[in-house]
């Protein structure tokens, strides 16, 4: 016969822990934040990012609260639920050693934590879609104009690179166009049927570019 403690342990292991989502804040930082290109886009746009951050602060509040982050995500129209924003907010915070002395500290996001928050929100926004496995700096690059639109600001710097998925799709379209053009050229030699000039220009422009 199981004891009460064993019963609770079984409940936690079989029902709670097995179905709970877990996050590793430090692991995310190492995989997605601590790299040269992510640092570059955040650093070069720092002046405007700080304006967005400081917009939520004032003399008596030198930090951003959870509800403000949720409102920010709603306003710029990111694909991220308020519940998930709450989880991202918590995971973006640095380790809080003492939560007893100041119980409001878990709801006080500093600027450096806000940068991690932006990385995490960008990661979540593209989750489940064709760009989910793209590099973090590319996700930030594509979303930086969205983040800064909160204050009608324009990015100071962007890599301007396409997602890998889009580049591969573009190459595939180019191969199909080239194949079709070759078929038309053969048909032209046999029957004199005219070649699609627009298609030929597209193929030539792509080959010249690449």
Quick: pLDDT tens for 88-130: 999 999 876 666 677 778 899 999 999 999 999 999 999 999 9
pLDDT score for 137: 97
Residues 200 and 110 reside in one and the same domain: no
Residues 58 and 129 reside in one and the same domain: yes
Query: Cβ–Cβ contacts within 10 Å for residue 184, how many?
Result: 16
pLDDT over threshold 80, residue 11: no
Contacts 24+ apart (CB under 8 A), 32-37: 32/119, 32/123, 32/136, 33/115, 33/116, 33/119, 33/136, 35/136, 35/137, 37/135, 37/137, 37/159
pLDDT score for 164: 95
Q: Supply 167's token pair.
A: 């580049």
Query: Which domain, by its residues, includes 119?
Result: 24-151
Confidence of residue 19 (pLDDT cuts 50, 70, 90): low
pLDDT in tens, 33-73: 999 999 999 999 999 999 999 999 999 999 999 999 999 99
Task: Give the Cα separation of 106 and 33 in Å (integer).
Answer: 21
Residues 169 and 146 reside in one and the same domain: no
Task: Give the mean pLDDT of 178-184.
Answer: 91
């Amino acid at each position: 016969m199981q004891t009460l403690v064993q019963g609770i342990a079984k409940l936690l292991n079989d029902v709670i822990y097995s179905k709970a989502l877990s996050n590793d804040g430090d692991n995310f930082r190492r995989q997605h934040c601590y790299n040269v290109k992510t640092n570059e886009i955040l650093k070069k746009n720092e002046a405007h990012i700080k304006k967005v951050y400081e917009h939520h602060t004032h003399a008596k509040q030198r930090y951003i609260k959870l509800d403000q982050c949720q409102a920010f995500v709603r306003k710029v129209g990111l694909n991220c639920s308020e519940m998930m924003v709450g989880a991202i907010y918590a995971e973006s915070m640095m380790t809080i050693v003492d939560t007893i002395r100041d119980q409001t500290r878990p709801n006080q996001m500093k600027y450096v934590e806000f940068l991690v928050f932006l990385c995490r929100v960008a990661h979540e926004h593209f989750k489940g879609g064709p760009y989910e496995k793209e590099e973090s700096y590319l996700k930030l690059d594509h979303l930086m104009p969205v983040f800064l639109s909160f204050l009608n600001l324009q990015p100071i710097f962007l890599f301007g690179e396409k997602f890998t998925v889009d580049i591969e799709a573009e190459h595939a379209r180019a191969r199909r166009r080239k194949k079709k053009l070759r078929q038309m050229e053969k048909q032209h030699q046999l029957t004199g049927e005219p070649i699609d000039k627009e298609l030929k220009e597209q193929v030539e422009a792509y080959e010249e570019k690449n």
